[in-house]
A = this chain, B = another copy of it.
């Protein structure tokens, strides 16, 4: 192709002057507010600011706080409200403002997250702990939003597939981690909140994890995809949810795994398949692994366990024993000390102990948080496919 001559006068014609920029996009044409928020100080305290001459009360909730807690902003000159937190631990957080009680994202923060049906603003407090999930100067894998036929659920569904750096340019076959989200989430959660792609980019770049695909499905068996059926989530009750029991696990093993193994360059053996999930996804992981022994050689259960205190432990023990016999290289369990699912987690650990199932247990500080789940993935992924 012809090389371009950047010196030609005509190129200057197409310069959009700054006067035009404001009008060029519709959403961008909203009220501009000259406010800096969030602002991270050198001691990792964070200042939040909102401009409102008329509000009566503005508060902020951040994911470093306890549930239900909020921090009030104080009104300053010219309607500029602000508050500064104590120094925060280096991590990724999300937060919302409440403007006279109305939940809002920070209007001056360009990074927001969707978790199921809700949005929050995103905040990364830099530091050593955050490096593992930041977008660093490494090669990056690609993320595809993939539609596939699910005969088990009689639906056309959507999932995300991460392919590692180099996947497009070589001919190798890769192992696959199937990574499951929790209740309220969907196929987007492990990317937006879990930063799974950046965690793997960084681990692979450092030689700490093998290059692998990550497959992130939608664990809500009643949904085509959140983008179509999101408003239906609220209509799922305990009663009508029961009819979907076990169906996601069936679709995962019988629809998703074969689709991936047909359409991607992957190794189709137990020892090249890992399965992990958090909370509801941890329960899906437990069920899918014991119902399909011999399918997954690596298993990770994050902040989850056996939810039902009245579970028939004898039946379960038989299934765990069969799974153990099928050959599992790694059974990894992680839970926060303050996790509200600790009792379920303990029931899982008890059955692993009872059946002599070799496993690794990692008990961390904190509770049922993405900060923990990102950590767990960063600890679990390096153990896979060795």
Contact = CB atoms under 8 A, between A and B. Distances in A.
Interface stretch (A207-215, A230-238, A357-365): A230-238
Nearest to A369: B26
Contact of A286 (B14, B18, B22): B14
B263 A101 contact: no
Interface range for A? 35 or more
A35 B189 CA distance: 25
Contacts of A315: 8-10
A13 interface: yes
B183 A52 contact: no
Contact of A28 (B13, B15, B116): B116
B292 A245 contact: no
Interface of A: 1-6, 8-18, 20-31, 33, 50-58, 61, 63, 67, 79, 94, 96-105, 107, 110-120, 135, 137, 139-147, 156, 158, 165, 168-169, 182-185, 189, 193, 226-228, 230-231, 233, 237-238, 241-242, 245-247, 249-250, 253-254, 257, 263, 279-280, 283-284, 286-287, 290-295, 306-308, 311-312, 315-316, 319, 340, 368-370
Nearest to A11: B246
Nearest to A26: B63
A96 to B, nearest CB: 6
A13 to B, nearest CB: 4
A103 B31 contact: yes
B24 A183 contact: yes
B340 A23 contact: yes
A53 B56 CA distance: 10
Given A100-B99, A142-B146, A312-B9, A183 B287 contact: no
A340 B245 CA distance: 55
Nearest to A29: B67
Interface centre among A54, A58, A230, A369 (most CB of B within 10 A): A54
Q: Which of A53, A140, A156 has the most CB of B within 10 A?
A: A140
Name, among A14, A120, A306, the residue most crowded by chain B CB atoms within 10 Å (CB to CB): A14
B113 A117 contact: no
Contact of A280 (B16, B113, B227): B16
Contacts of A10: 287, 290, 311-312, 315-316, 319
B4 A250 contact: yes
